[in-house]
Amino acid sequence: MTAIVVSPLSRIAEMAVRHGAREMVSLLAANQQNFHRPAVIRAERHLKLDLNDITFAGTGDLVAPSERHVAALIDFARGWNRAAPLVVHCWMGVSRSPAAALIASLATAPQEDDAALALRLRAVAPHATPNIRLVEIGDALLERGGRLTAAVKAIGRGAETDGNAPFVLPLYRPDTSAAN
């Protein structure tokens, strides 16, 4: 089963190699964190989104998540062939990347229930606190009718973490037992 691997920046190479990933999304502040793309990730299958982990625009020189960022994420996720896991990372793997993982998951499986997805995130990542601005924009662009935002608010803030807790978010798999 393929999945989305969420990682802090410090562990992207390890996670990409361990899980056999071939594609990656980076959500980092522009020109703030220099890093090398893991060799197993092709440059053309690496989406870099320059944004800060903030929830509203107008905060000095910080770049708030925007529709442009989320639309690029959705397009990239829809172009992911899912033959291998997708690595999604930010600085600590706590806020921006869990939000991006939720959006990417729904972009590839729009039939998924938002609440079930948020609960699955909480089960594999007790520390995740998805960036609500990214979530709200993703909710709107994916036409979720507020369900994704409500589901993320329902799981609440994650547990404290040192930011060294990568996790794997399995992709939606429809229940086929009812058909048998």
pLDDT tens digits along 128-156: 999 999 999 999 999 999 999 999 999 99
Alpha-carbon span 37 to 128, nearest angstrom: 24
Q: What is the number of domains present in the chain?
A: 1
Q: Is this model's pTM higher than 0.75 or not?
A: yes
Could you tell me the CATH number of the domain that includes residue 158?
Answer: 3.90.190.10
pLDDT tens digits along 3-29: 999 999 999 999 999 999 999 999 999
The residue-averaged pLDDT of 106-131 equals 98
Q: Which long-range contacts (CB under 8 A, 24 or more apart) does 34-38 make?
A: 35/9, 38/12, 38/13, 38/87
Q: What is the pLDDT of residue 33?
A: 64
10 Å CB burial of residue 172 (0-12, 13-18, 19+) is middle
- Is residue 89 situated within a structural domain? yes
- Given a cut of 50, whether residue 51 has pLDDT beyond it is yes
- Is residue 179 situated within a structural domain? no
Phi (first) and psi of residue 15, to 5 degrees: -70, -40
Give the residue numbers spanning the domain of 126: 3-171
CA dihedral of 38, 39, 43, 48, whole degrees rounded to 10 = 0
Q: What is the pLDDT of residue 1?
A: 60
Phi (first) and psi of residue 138, to 5 degrees: -60, -40
- Is residue 176 situated within a structural domain? no
Q: What is the pLDDT of residue 177?
A: 45
The residue-averaged pLDDT of 160-174 equals 91
